[in-house]
Amino acid sequence: MKNIYMDHQAAMPVDERVMKFASRFLTGNFMNPSSQYSLGLEARGAVEAARENIASLINAETSKNIIFTGSATEASNLAIRGAAYRNADKIGRKVVATEIEHMSVLNPIKELSKNGFETVLVPVDKYGIVDLEKLKEAVTEGTVLTSVMLANNEIGTIEPVREISEIVHAAGSLLHVDAVAAAGRIPIDVQVDGIDLLTLSSNDLYGPRGAGALYVRKGVKLQSVMPGGGQEKGLRSGSEDVFAIAGMGEAARIAAEEMVDESARLMKIRDGLIAGLLKIEQTYLTGHPVNRLPHHVGVRFTAIEGEGILLWLDKAGIQVSTGSACSSQTLQASHVLLATGLQHEDVHGSVVMTLGHSSSADDIDYVVKTVTDTVDRLRQMSPVWSGRK
């Protein structure tokens, strides 16, 4: 039986080249990068080289703008809570985000609301594009931070960050961008796009888990959310995981070199899958049809449950994700799909396929046929399917 992994947005394998590069800091030079002897200095050199590679990937002014964390979730917490608490007295106590942000952004914002901050969530259109007029209304004087993701992990839609930045900065607010889903797949330029804070994830670049990074524009002040020994400019204390950080840096270097060709390759597979899946009766694309990530396929099928599709496809050797209720930790329907105007019954049949290095054009026919057969089988068992034979 074939095994076709199509859930790269949830987890990516560590690139073999990355593992080969970074493994010496796991089993060989395990030294603390704060140590002053030669092996410690070598570890420090690996951390700083990784910082350079990540800065290059997003066109940061210098590597000094990069702060390492233990995950993307931690990086977003540092950006959101750190910026809000540090700058509340100077700028204001209002925080704005879109309705489709990742929970690692929405939950820190909810925490701020419990501590005296006003929070506003801006709606999106049916494709998941933020409503710029509503954003202008929301980001007023006194808005300390606005958070908008560069591309959505559930529907693949890419946001107009440059226009968003202009609106945010006109009101004197700081802009945080969650770039986890987009990094390594589309170009990122924090200087041109006017981004103040930007979150990255190691594993979403084919690097090891256990590392994330936050870009902090020069002049932006943050309050530490993890006080301790003062590592990472005092913003993220704790001994650095040199293996994970070195691996993230190498993954960023490879992504910068290969992104254009790899994204073009995946786009062809993506388009082939979308075309094949949309031939299935009452199947609809989620997210923007054009302004979407090159590796992202999101569709929904009426009258069936996404988790049922997931389980049947898994039996056939195909791993996918779903925005359906029972697939989430909270047992709630996808807030992203609901924000695009879909009803609960529409959200239940959603499936997300995210491609990667292992994906091949040879997979298209098998995946489309297997999904078609699965959807037909499940619909024949569905009490709400009007086309039952």
CB neighbour list of residue 366: distance below 8 Å, 6 or more residues apart: 2, 4
Single out the catalytic residue among 39, 226, 326, 338: 326
- CA separation for the pair 168, 146 (Å, rounded): 7
Region for residue 308 given its phi and psi (left: phi exceeds 0; alpha: psi -120 to 50; beta: otherwise): alpha
- CA separation for the pair 141, 70 (Å, rounded): 33
Instruction: Give the H or E element holding residue 96.
Output: strand 94-98
Question: Which of 161, 210, 167 has the alpha carbon at shortest distance from 190?
Answer: 161
Instruction: Give the H or E element holding residue 307.
Output: helix 306-315
326 labelled catalytic: yes
From residue 381, how far is each of 155, 307, 385 by CA, in Å? 27, 15, 8
Strand partners, 351: 299
DSSP-assigned letter for residue 234:
G
- CA separation for the pair 198, 200 (Å, rounded): 7
CB neighbour list of residue 133: distance below 8 Å, 6 or more residues apart: none
Question: Which of 145, 147, 167 has the alpha carbon at shortest distance from 87?
Answer: 145
Instruction: Determine phi and psi for 28, rounding to 5 degrees.
Output: -110, -90
- CA separation for the pair 277, 298 (Å, rounded): 10
Residue numbers annotated as active site? 326
